[in-house]
Structure 1
Amino acid sequence: MANHPSSLCLINTSSFTFPYPVVEQVKPKKCNHRKTVEVKEPFASYSACQLFNKSPKRAGLSTSDLIFNGYMNIEEKGISRNGYSTRNDSFPDGFIDDGCSNTVPVTCYSLESLLDKQFVIEVLSYCSREECLELGRRYHALITKTAVCGDQFVTASLVNMYAKCGDIKSMVAVVKQMPYLDIASCNCLLAGYAKNALFDQAFSFFLKLDGIDVQPNHYTYSTMLAICGSLSAIDEGKQLHAQTMKLQYLSKTAVSNALLTMYIKCGMMEDAESVFEGLVQRNVISWTAIINGFKQHGDYEKPLRLVCLMREDGIDPNEYTFTVALASCASLRNSHMGYMFHAQVIKRGMALGDFVGTAIVDMYSGLGEIWEAKKQLKEMGKSASSVSWNAQIAGFFRNQKTEEAIEAFSQMVRNDAACDEFTYSSILKACSLLPSLATCEQIHSRIVKSKFESNVHVGSSLIEAYNKCGSWEDAERVFSQLTAADVVSWNSMIKAYSQNGRARKAIILFEKMVVEGIRPTNSTFLAVLSACSHSGLVQDGQKVFESMVKEYGILPEEAHYSCMVDLLGRAGKLEIALIFISNLPIKPTAPIWRPLFAACRCHSDLKMAEFISKQILELDPDDAAVYVTLSNMYAEAGLQADAEEQRKLMKMKEISKEPGCSWIEVYNKIYRFFSQNKSHSEMPKVYEKLKQLMQQIEDIGHTDNEKEDRVLYHSERLAVGFGLISLPAKNKFECSRTLEYA
């Protein structure tokens, strides 16, 4: 009897009866190979595999190389899932043509070597590697009831093949038919469960090994440690660690690497580092695992040092190692190390590969060197995959290069690169930064053609984009088409109603969300409170705020407090808002004070504004908005000397405000305007139009105490003026802007 530890009690296995573990159905993977074998007379009664046998030109080639590479396009490495016509009655007559026109006439000499044990194992190995389930099934049927089918190595290969192809039911059926189990077959079964994420079944079967007198070997433990890592089952992992030490398996590289990875996935970096330091043999997998572990847990300095130590240890980094190193450089914004690693991958011929090439694009985007990223993608050429293009688009977005992101997306489409949900989500986020309804509609059209319109992630991004474009109706239509909207989608739609002045719709949708069993989040309440704030629904807002804590147990954050202050301030309840701030359970921050400061200007409460300005400047002395707003309030009150004093203080303290920027879409083209903008060729006409409007405003009794040049130079007014002179009088248009104070 095996002397290995058998007391490991991980999962209740009372319902487990060997060899029938509880099996969750996993959808088998389908073959996707394109090559078709055309069988010519007189060999039409033989199987396709048989017809490859005993070629006189196969000297120097292994059987599997001959079958699957020698007679087919090596670059394709494929064989279709066509049927096989054999003398066995279980096969259909003729071939099932998948519509592929690529055919290869072949010849064959005998049937007997088709049933050769080594040949069978190689064929099944090929099916496993290429995940060619249909071919594996047919070959299994061919060898059934033959002597070779009862061989333990062949059976283990069958188990492995079905596992790799995702056919768990067939995998278990093969195990059931085995006269006895050896450790190789058990390892294949465990690996099959692990590959298909059936971790409970794997644990149950592992715990039964002692009862069937099968001793786990080091491959068994490496598989089980990997499963513990996937489940973050640290307690069970430590028990397995103890067993591997007792059995002296830690000297096996597969076990030590699996143990190292398990601790990393469980977040136990100190234990992982201890295991790494104690490794007898460190290979590239060991080094890459620990390097990636530190990076995943937010330590970006250690990966860079470890890569250097790795090379000193005589281990050459592989593409995965370099990918982690490049990502760490981006996180640290360490351009020097980034250039060095880039040079190393060029020297090794890895730079144009999809994996490393994408990492280079991502690194330069993270460093803000967006044109270097663009250059890298260009060098990759047609070999650039969707992942590489996605990295480029996301990089432009991160660096607020919205128009460049849209152009990259257009180039990606022209290059026939397949767009996925990440592509559409990224480009729609870019559209949200530069609201262009025409562009958003074009992307929406492509999403529909690509059949991604019901994808919840794409749908949420599309709702957000339409929201930013001011088209809540389109956002509503997208939301209604989502088949399984998640909380992000609900939040996006509530936010769209909120930001487009549809507060009642936002509240109704919030109530519907609760009824349908979707639990609200912080973001949900923030969107609803914002809707109430902008529409003056004070009582509704207070009710929602109270339910947030009492009914859902969600503690308000700074943004929620700020929104409540805004709600009260907009409604003119300045004193109540001040009391609310005074009674907060946290120390008021500048973002909490600012909405009340803005409300003071709206309601012309200069005295309270002076008090609040002091509170804000104590927390944020360089807040230009305070000086500008206070200056404007003094000007409105006729206190020009005090207004100028605020401007002088800004100059003396060298405090500058970010120039306001507004934009408008005219005939599918975006036009930007900055404060004091005079560069546009139509500016004289714009200023003339604005002066006419200001005169009309004064004629109806409104007087603006700000100086005329300041009023006319507001970026949003420039955009409005341009829209008025560029579009027909009855046309509706929308302007977007960044926050500006002058």
Structure 2
Amino acid sequence: MTLVNGPKSAAVLYSSLLQSCIGSNAFRQGKSVHHRTIIAPSASPPDLHLSTKLVIFYSHFGDVAAARRVFDGMPHRSVVSWTAMVSAYAKNGRPREALELFALMLRSGARANQFTFGSAASACAGARCARSGEQVHACAAKGRFAGDMFVQSALMDMHLRCGSVADASRLFAEMERKDVVSWNALIRGFVEHKHYSDALGLFASMLRDAMVPDHFTFGSALKASAAVSLLSNVELIHTCIIKLGYLGNKIVTASLIDSYAKCRSLSSARVIYDSMCEPDLVSSTALISGYSMDRNHSKDAMKLFCKIHRKGLRIDGVLLSSLLAICANTASIKFGTQVHAYMCKKQPMGDAALDNALVDMYAKAGEFTDARRAFDEMPHRNVISWTSLITACGENGFGEDAVTLFDRMAEDGVKPNDVTFLALLSACSHSGLMNKGIEYFTSMMSKYGINPRVEHYSSAIDLLARGGQLEDAWKLVQKINAEPSSSMFGAMLGACKIHGNVPLGETAAKNLFSMDPESSVNYAVLANIFADSCLWENAQRTRKLLAETSRGKEVGYSVI
């Protein structure tokens, strides 16, 4: 591939045309420009600036192979050419190739600039390779670019994406000059690593240093405030947004709605939504997602959906998933089936998250047949899909079906997670499949390497206890490294009542008394255990404790 080496003005013209194609996202027209520059092999070398512009052009449209062909056809390369190609690999998800090319550049004797180091650092971040990042940092220091803001921001982002928040914070503190990009990188990093207090503290420092935040800053600060349910912080950030004139920015407005909703201030979220001239999909989804967290606002969500639909606004899978979650939580099968009908008409097949929400909605509404049909119609199933239906089987008393589904899931090559096993153990427990349940509990650790949580132990103890294996259940309670939960002792107490085991029942009850001394049900069950075994004095003494616990409580009554 050789490029025209005509008059300099021709190369400048072609470069200008390519830049226009990049700005207007005109890939086909840009390729036409490239074809116009190609001629038969010539002794004249291709124009360096034009070749570099072609690398940038193809990189912009994700055609890295074409960019590399142009790059390889260049007899001479400038630092801009090398940087363009390194950046092409880094930006298009090929960080290893970017780092290999960066190493080749250094070996060839070419001197990198701040943009080369920045692209190499981004590649290290993409590869999650902190060690390579440290080497890039050292090279930048040798080339006197370690103090460059662009390089430092890229290195900071690399440390954050590699999980080293401390190194990123140290690098930020060492920066002599900081721009809004630097502040945003660290605030966003804190939020992504769930260091919400640090993110909000850094945002406050940014304001104290008279650095003006932008819409990215506000998005991260609002997300941090919502994560810790700090409504007062959301209100303060809202004031700052108004003062700086960002309220018209749709991204910021959607973040505000989302934050108010997550702080349970749905009225404020609705006021902001209604003040928008043209509510878009993101803001509508944020408000409906907020409504999905509060059963009292389920009708508001449904009305809002109808309003959006009448206006002809675009509706996507995320919004529909939130609506199905509302239908599931309120058992509103009528509206849920209408959403399903809309999905069949308007939504393309293959959205696994939306299909999972549909299965969950039918299952929680008690419509197991419809849940099973929705599951069978899914073109793609993931672990959440299988777990949702296994849960539905357990809740509807179909333990054998849950076991069959789990076996099918393994045959399909889908690896179960801890939630899958929790659903499976619960299904086995409620269907009397004790041996099968304990077998799954064991294989969860030995075959799949999943460490059981307290909930798994509770289910296993419940399995053994319901099956009459009280001694084995008690041994499992004592074996747990963590502090046993009330649900474990509750399962033991209930099983001791069924199987008439007084000593273990008394031990389980005493533990429950110390955990929750005001729960009257535990005293009542223990008293019944004593009474069933004709231990009348113990029963009377326990009932006396029950009466003392119930004092001061309002007695229930019927209005009928």
TM-score (norm 1): 0.68
> Would the aligned equivalents of 1:437 and 1:466 in 2 still touch at CA under 8 Å?
yes
Q: Deviations over 1:520-547 (max 9, x none)?
A: 2222222221111111112222222222
The answer on 1:536 being equivalent to 2:447 is no
Q: Does 1:391 align with 2:286?
A: yes
Which residue does the alignment assign to 1:552?
Answer: 448
Q: Secondary structure at the match of 1:209?
A: helix
Number of the residue aligned with 1:256: 152
User: Residues 520 and 549 of structure 2 are in contact (CA less than 8 Å); yes or no, is this contact kept in structure 1?
Assistant: no
Contact kept in structure 2, 1:628 and 1:647, CA below 8 Å: no
Higher helix share goes to which structure? 2
**TM-fit CA distance, 1:439:** 2.0
- Which residue is 1:430 aligned to? 326
Greater shift, 159-168 or 632-641, is seen at 632-641
| SS of equivalent residue, structure 1 residue 315 | coil
* 1:16-43 Cα deviation digits (max 9, x unpaired): xxx9xxxxxxxxxxxxxxxxxxxxxxxx
Amino acid at match of 1:614: K
8 Å Cα contact 1:128-1:162 kept in structure 2: no
- 1:310-321 to structure 2, matched below 5 A, reads 310-321=206-217
Q: Establish whether residue 405 from structure 1 lines up as the match of residue 301 from structure 2.
A: yes
What are the superposed Cα offsets for residues 65-118 of structure 1, whole Å, 9 maximum, x if unpaired?
xxxxxxxxxxxxxxxxxxxxxxxxxxxxxxxxxxxxxxxxxxxxxxx99x7555
Task: Give the drift of 1:240.
Answer: 0.7
Q: In the alignment, residue 135 of structure 1 is paired with which amino acid?
A: Q
User: Offset of 1:416 from its aligned partner?
Assistant: 3.0
Secondary structure of 1:556 counterpart = coil
1:327 aligns to what? 223
Equivalent residue number for residue 183 of structure 1? 79
Aligned-pair CA distance for 1:641: 10
Moved more, 309-318 or 616-625: 616-625
> Which whole-Å CA distance do the structure 2 matches of 1:628 and 1:389 have between them?
50
Amino acid at match of 1:120: Y
1:483 corresponds to: 379
Task: Provide, for residues 699-718 of structure 1, a one-character-per-residue CA deviation record: whole Å limited to 9, x for no partner.
Answer: xxxxxxxxxxxxxxxxxxxx
Residue type at the aligned position of 1:482: M
2:67 counterpart residue number:
171
Aligned length, in residue pairs? 549
- Provide the secondary structure at the position in 2 that maps to 1:553: coil
Amino acid at match of 1:129: G
- Say if 1:151 and 1:340 are closer, same or farther in 2 by CA, change over 3 A: same
Aligned residue for 2:27? 133
- Residue 367 of structure 2 is aligned to residue 471 of structure 1: yes
Alignment correspondent of 1:225: 121
Structure 2 equivalent of residue 563 of structure 1: 459
C-alpha distance in 1 between matches for 2:125 and 2:92? 15
Q: Distance in 2 between matches of 1:271 and 1:580?
A: 43
Q: Whole-Å Cα distance in 1 between the matches of residues 480 and 153 of structure 2?
A: 52
Instruction: Tell me the residue number matched to 2:18.
Output: 124
Report the CA distance shift for 1:308/1:542 in structure 2 as closer, same or farther (over 3 A). Answer: closer
Match of 2:276, SS state, is helix
Distance apart, 1:582 and its partner CA: 4.1
352-361 vs 128-137, which deviates more? 128-137
How far apart, CA to CA, are the structure 2 residues paired with 1:645 and 1:369? 43
Question: Within 5 A, what are the aligned runs for 1:635-650?
Answer: 646=546, 648-650=548-550
Shift of 1:133: 1.4
Aligned counterpart for 1:302 among listed residues 193, 198, 212: 198
Secondary structure at the aligned position of 1:392 is classed as: helix
1:417, 1:635 → 2: CA distance?
Answer: 66
Residue 254 to residue 144, structure 1, CA distance change in 2 (3 Å) = same
| Counterparts of 1:126 and 1:650, CA distance in 2 | 79
| Equivalent position SS for 1:595 | helix
* Whole-angstrom distance in 1 between the partners of 2:452 and 2:353: 26
Per-residue deviation, residues 450-474 of structure 1 (Å, max 9, x unmatched) = 3344222222222211111112222
C-alpha distance in 1 between matches for 2:329 and 2:70? 56
Structure 2 match to 1:618: 514
**1:449-598 pair list within 5 angstroms:** 449-574=345-470, 576-584=472-480, 586-598=482-494
Q: Highest relative contact order (Cα 8 Å, sep 6+), 1 or 2?
A: 1
CA RMSD, Structure 1 to Structure 2 (Å): 3.3
Q: Choose from 150, 173, 180 the match for 1:277.
A: 173
Whichever residue aligns with residue 393 of structure 1, its letter is I
Is 2:319 the counterpart of 1:419?
no
Q: Give the drift of 1:285.
A: 0.7
Q: Kindly provide the CA deviation profile for residues 204-258 of structure 1, in whole angstroms up to 9, marking residues without a partner as x.
A: 2112113444222111100010111222211000111111111110232211211
2:275 paired residue among 376, 379, 385: 379
Could you tell me how far 1:320 is from its partner in structure 2? 1.0
Q: What is the aligned counterpart of 2:131 among 235, 240, 243? A: 235
Partner secondary structure for residue 179 of structure 1:
coil
Q: Which amino acid aligns with 1:165?
A: F
**C-alpha contact (below 8 Å) 1:634/1:643 kept by paired residues:** no
Matching residue of 2:239: 343
Deviation at 1:573, TM superposition (A): 4.8
- Could you say if the C-alpha distance between residues 612 and 210 of structure 1 is closer, same or farther in structure 2, counting changes exceeding 3 Å? closer
**Structure-2 separation of matches of 1:582 and 1:213:** 67
Q: In the aligned structure 1, how far is the partner of 2:530 from the partner of 2:265?
A: 44
1:381–1:552 distance in 2 versus 1, CA, 3 Å: same
Name the stretch that deviates more: 307-316 or 221-230.
307-316
CA deviation string 1:457-492 (max 9, x = no partner): 222222211111112222222222223312221211
Question: In structure 1, the residue corresponding to 2:388 is in which secondary structure?
Answer: helix
**Alignment partners' CA distance in 1, 2:308 and 2:506:** 54
One-letter code aligned to 1:126: S
Deviation at 1:316, TM superposition (A): 0.9
CA contact (8 A) 1:630 1:646 kept: no
Q: Residues 34-183 of structure 1 correspond to what in structure 2 (within 5 A)? A: 117-145=11-39, 150-183=46-79
TM-superposition CA deviations, 1:648-683 (whole Å, max 9, x none): 51334x6x89xxxxxxxxxxxxxxxxx8675xxxxx
Aligned-pair identity in percent equals 27
Structure 1 segments unaligned to the other structure (5+ residues) = 1-18, 20-111, 658-674, 679-686, 688-742
When residues 571 and 581 of structure 1 are mapped into structure 2, their CA distance, relative to the original with a 3 A threshold, is: same
Separation in structure 1 between the aligned mates of residue 351 and residue 518 of structure 2, nearest angstrom: 44
Q: What is the distance in 1 between the residues matched to 2:33 and 2:419?
A: 55
Shift of 1:284: 0.8
Contact 1:421 1:452 in 2 (8 A): no
Distance in 2 of aligned mates of 1:289 and 1:564: 45
Assess, with a 3 A threshold, how the Cα gap between structure 1 residues 616 and 119 changes in structure 2: closer, same or farther.
farther
Whether the aligned pair in 2 keeps the contact of 1:365 and 1:399 (CA below 8 Å) is no
Displacement of 1:437 in angstroms is: 2.0
The Cα shift of 1:506 comes to 1.0
How far has the Cα of 1:356 moved from its partner?
Answer: 0.7
Secondary structure at 2:57 match in 1: helix
Shift of 1:357: 0.6
Larger radius of gyration: 1
Tell me by how many angstroms 1:272 deviates.
1.5
Q: Which amino acid aligns with 1:473?
A: T
Instruction: Judge conservation of contact 1:143–1:149 (CA < 8 Å) in 2.
Output: no
Cα distance in 1, alignment partners of residues 148 and 116 from structure 2: 12
**Partner Cα distance (1:641, 1:279) in 2:** 71
